[in-house]
């Protein structure tokens, strides 16, 4: 396995690092405190091609490989996890399933506007009583003529209040055993209006809106069915498998951001006449932090390699993606906690930002499947092999 990044991957990574430094760093605290969606920065990301990284050039995208997308996302997470979440939702949770499951007409209709940033997307799967168990969803879609009529409520939807394109999951009937037939739909908000409900007041990641979506007799053209009827569960699982690598990368990015801030602080801060880095308790903590970050990178890169070699449905890839997400997210919680500790009292203050990274890291253990779900996925594969 070759760990060297190619010229194109390095170019995307550097472009993201430069953008984060020049455009984001100076306003990052303001973004989190204002809790407002950063439209201007999002459009600047779109101008750089970041909103359509994984979308092929024929649909107006950057045509980047998956690792290039992850590198950009990781660089953004070092400075703003909120912008990284917006970028991730657009590419990983919306563009990729359209590319993997949509027909040619659907791709022509939906991908260009996503690639340009003209429209933002969201992934509407979770419900009040269907989180880790999406098969228990209550949202329904009933076929009426040339329309599917959706009714139900979705919960905790990233970008929900700003998205114009939504992939929405609904039950389209019952199987003989009484279980839901789950299907996925491409919903254009301008064509098939739906409501934004509660905008959640969260622990962190404040510049990325997380909302309730309400569908009341929302009529969607029959041609907007994504894949075939009953394919919804497959669409969701395959999307979440790659999405776990996105969360792993965000975890690595925010942990790296916290680590760099802690290292800088420890070099500059003096106690008892010595820099903090001269105390073994601090230097060893920093050593453990960077070791854990690099271990998470290796797990993630291996999973990306397996994805390219074996495909999205391969059990070994699915297990590797779960391992990367599990380790990276729990690593991020530990590393950001240590970053706060190294800063001492300063770490509890917002100006130093490590407390912001600490709060963001906690989310990584929940989104795209909790740590418990990852362990279930991994053990299922390991116990069969």
Report d(CA 15, CA 106) in Å as an integer.
31
57 is catalytic: no
Query: Would you list the DSSP string of 241-276?
Result: HHHHHHHHHHHHHHHHHHHHHHHHHHHH-EETTEEG
Report d(CA 304, CA 309) in Å as an integer.
9
Which SS3 state, helix, strand or coil, does residue 104 take? helix
CA-nearest of 331, 352, 357 to 257 is: 357
Report d(CA 195, CA 375) in Å as an integer.
35
Q: Which of 127, 368, 372, 382 is catalytic?
A: 368
Query: Would you list the DSSP string of 200-221?
Result: ---SS-TTS-EEEEEEEEEEEE
Report d(CA 190, CA 72) in Å as an integer.
30
Contact 144, 218 (CB under 8 A): no
CA-nearest of 239, 236, 206 to 321 is: 239
Report d(CA 331, CA 296) in Å as an integer.
8
List of E strands, the chain: 121-124, 140-144, 147-158, 165-174, 180-188, 195-199, 210-221, 225-226, 270-271, 274-275
Compute CA distances 197 → 130, 254, 360, whole Å.
17, 29, 23
Report d(CA 381, CA 314) in Å as an integer.
11
Number of residues written out for the chain: 385
Backbone angles phi, psi at 235, to 5 degrees: -60, -45
Active site residues: 368
């Amino acid at each position: 396995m070759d760990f060297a990044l190619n010229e194109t991957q390095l170019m995307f990574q550097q472009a993201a690092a430069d953008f984060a430094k020049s455009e984001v760093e100076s306003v990052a605290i303001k973004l989190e405190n204002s809790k407002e969606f950063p439209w201007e920065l999002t459009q600047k990301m779109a101008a750089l091609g970041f909103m359509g990284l994984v979308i092929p050039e024929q649909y107006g995208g950057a045509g980047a490989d998956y690792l290039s997308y992850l590198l950009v996302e990781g660089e953004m997470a070092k400075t703003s996890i909120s912008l990284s979440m917006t970028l991730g939702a657009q590419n990983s949770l919306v563009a990729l399933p359209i590319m993997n499951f949509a027909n040619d007409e659907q791709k022509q209709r939906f991908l260009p506007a996503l690639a340009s940033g003209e429209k933002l997307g969201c992934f509407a799967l979770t419900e009040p009583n269907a989180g880790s168990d999406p098969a228990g969803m209550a949202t329904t879609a009933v076929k009426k003529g040339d329309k599917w009529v959706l009714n139900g409520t979705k919960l905790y939807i990233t970008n929900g209040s700003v998205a114009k394109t939504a992939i929405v999951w609904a039950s389209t009937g019952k199987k003989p055993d009484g279980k839901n037939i789950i299907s996925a739909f491409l919903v254009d908000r301008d064509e098939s209006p739906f409501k934004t409900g509660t905008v959640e007041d969260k622990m962190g990641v404040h510049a990325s809106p997380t909302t309730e979506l309400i569908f009341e007799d929302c009529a969607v053209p029959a041609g907007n069915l994504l894949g075939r009827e009953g394919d919804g569960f497959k669409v969701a699982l395959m999307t979440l498998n790659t999405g776990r690598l996105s969360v792993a990368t965000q975890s690595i990015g925010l942990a790296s951001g916290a680590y760099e801030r802690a290292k800088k602080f420890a070099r500059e801060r003096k106690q008892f006449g010595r820099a903090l880095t001269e105390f073994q308790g601090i230097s060893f903590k920093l050593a453990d932090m960077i070791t854990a970050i690099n271990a998470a990178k290796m797990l993630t890169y291996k999973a990306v390699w397996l994805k390219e070699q074996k495909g999205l449905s391969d059990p070994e890839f699915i297990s590797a993606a779960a391992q990367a997400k599990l380790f990276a997210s729990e690593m991020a919680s530990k590393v950001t906690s240590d970053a706060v500790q190294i800063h001492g009292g300063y770490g509890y203050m917002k100006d130093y930002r490590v407390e912001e990274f600490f709060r963001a890291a906690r989310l990584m253990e929940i989104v795209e499947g909790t740590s418990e779900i990852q362990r279930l996925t991994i053990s299922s594969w390991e116990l069969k092999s």
